[in-house]
Amino acid sequence: MKREKCKVLIVGAGPGGYVCGIRAGQLGLDTIVVEGEKPGGTCLNVGCIPSKALIHAADEFHKAKTFQGDNKLGISLQNAEIDFAKTQKWKDGIVTKLNTGVTGLLKKAKTRLIQGKASIIDGKTVKVAKSEREQIIECEHLVLATGSSPMELPSLPFSDHVISSTEALSLKDVPKDLAIVGGGYIGLEIGTAMAKLGANVTIVEMDQQILPQYDADLVKPVADRLKKLGVTLHLGAKAEGVTPDGALKITTKEAAQEIPADKILVAIGRAPNITGFGVEDLDLKMDGRHIAINDVCATSMRNVFAIGDITGDPMLAHRAMAQGVIVAEHIAGKQSVWDKRAVPAVCFTDPEIVTVGQLPSADAKTATFPFAANGRAMTMEREDGFVRVVYDAESELVLGLQAVGNGVSELAGEFALAMEMCATLTDIADTIHAHPTLGETVQETAHLALGHALHI
């Protein structure tokens, strides 16, 4: 059996693992990344990237459909159609291109990528199975970056008919009737796209509100848009199983119902990939079902680190990337620690939602500026939504920023930067924003909070 040694061994080439590998290589650390599938992890292969491609295609098709009838822009279009197989081929091409890019970036950093199934023997030794061959890799520092997988319900085990987000993004045809269990961001993103592509979409959520992690003001524009798209919502409802003819059985406070479904998408969350390759045998300290870490992402075992989804919420690719950089720099002797206060979260629904920092609370003040008063939003025919700032009344320190609206995901960087730099209302209000842009609303919101709004 082949044996080799390295300074840093990373198990998993998802966003956290491959970024950790690139940064470690840049810092001159002898690094190996082991991955059982294609590099890029869930995000690149079956999550963030393919879902956004599908959302874009659905948006363009839906826009074309609206031009078949009377519209304000005076555009006339006949017989809008979509070749869904071609759409999927385009989406897969993007994924393949990015896979190749990740491999090239690791090579550029002089980090070795070994493809095979990893089995952890101890905190310094990993066995990798490649086809019919096996090899042993010994390391000084072990980084666990194994990601997460879709959760299934006991009453709705995955099958050809009951699918996860992975299968939903690779459907050969748009289902006539799609039932979705789970009203979180994954279910809503895919559900909205499928509704725009022509599916009859029904969403079942146990909570009394879709996107229960957000407040009602942020969610209302999304719920209103779903209604316009013809999406049916069942709130306070529980999925119970599948009928012999494939319908989804649910119960609500009023009665039991059956929802016709060509496919049932279960999108109730993701579980950390901890079992099945030896992590459980390390006897690491846990934080619930996740691996407990400190501010340099170190676990309870010396020189063993964990990053990404296996370390808990928020399960976001950019969080994993940031952690990967911190671990690589820490191993290289640099001062780098994890502080998650300024991690933006984006929900790519229609309209989009972006949040950074603190949501409204009793101990803070808020100011909200509507897109209905923004010229750029008017020219885009999307005046729904707003930008909101949460701030300390005495110091004017910005504690949080949120927005809901068309294209607001692109404000996430500005929001995070304001939080990272400890911006005050005056800092934002005195920063000149280009006109006409959606970003002007951030400046206007700060002016409003200071008591001298200019355009409302």
SS3 assignment for 192-245 = HHHHHCCCEEEEEECCCCCCCCCCHHHHHHHHHHHHHCCCEEEECCEEEEECCC
HSE (CB half, 13 Å, CA atoms) of 223? 17
Same domain, 327 and 369: no
Residue found by looking up tokens 């002016």 in the block: 447
46 and 177 part of one domain: no
Query: Per the residue annotation, which of 435, 447, 452, 455 is the catalytic one?
Result: 435
Residue 276, SS3 per DSSP? coil
Give residue 207's pLDDT.
97
Would you state the pLDDT for residue 223? Answer: 98
pLDDT at position 131 is 74
Residues 237 and 136 placed together within one structural domain of the fold: no
Q: What is the pLDDT of residue 340?
A: 77
Residues 57 and 126 reside in one and the same domain: yes
**Is 161 part of the annotated catalytic residue set?**
no
Boundary-marking domain end, from 268, 303, 319:
268
Q: How many domains does the chain have?
A: 3
Domain identity same for 116 and 14: yes
For the entire predicted model, the pTM comes to 0.95
Instruction: Please give the chain's pLDDT, 456 residues, in tens.
Output: 789 999 999 999 999 999 999 999 999 999 999 999 999 999 999 999 999 999 999 999 999 999 998 999 999 999 899 999 999 999 999 999 999 999 999 999 999 999 999 999 999 999 999 877 899 999 999 999 999 999 999 999 999 999 999 999 999 999 999 999 999 999 999 999 999 999 999 999 999 999 999 999 999 999 999 999 999 999 999 999 999 999 999 999 889 999 999 999 999 999 999 998 899 889 999 999 999 999 999 999 999 999 999 999 999 999 999 999 999 999 999 999 888 778 999 999 999 999 999 999 999 999 999 999 999 999 999 999 999 999 999 999 999 999 999 999 999 999 999 999 999 999 999 999 999 999 999 999 999 999 999 999
Domain with 213 in it: what CATH number?
Answer: 3.50.50.60
Residue 154 lies in a domain: no
Which of 210, 242, 268 terminates a domain? The answer is 268
- H or E element at residue 389: strand 386-391
State whether 240 and 358 are in the same domain.
Answer: no
* Domain finish residue from 340, 368, 400: 340
Q: What is the CA radius of gyration of the chain?
A: 24
Same domain membership, residue 83 and residue 45: yes
pLDDT at 377: 97
pLDDT at residue 47, as a whole number: 95
Domain hosting 170: range is: 162-268
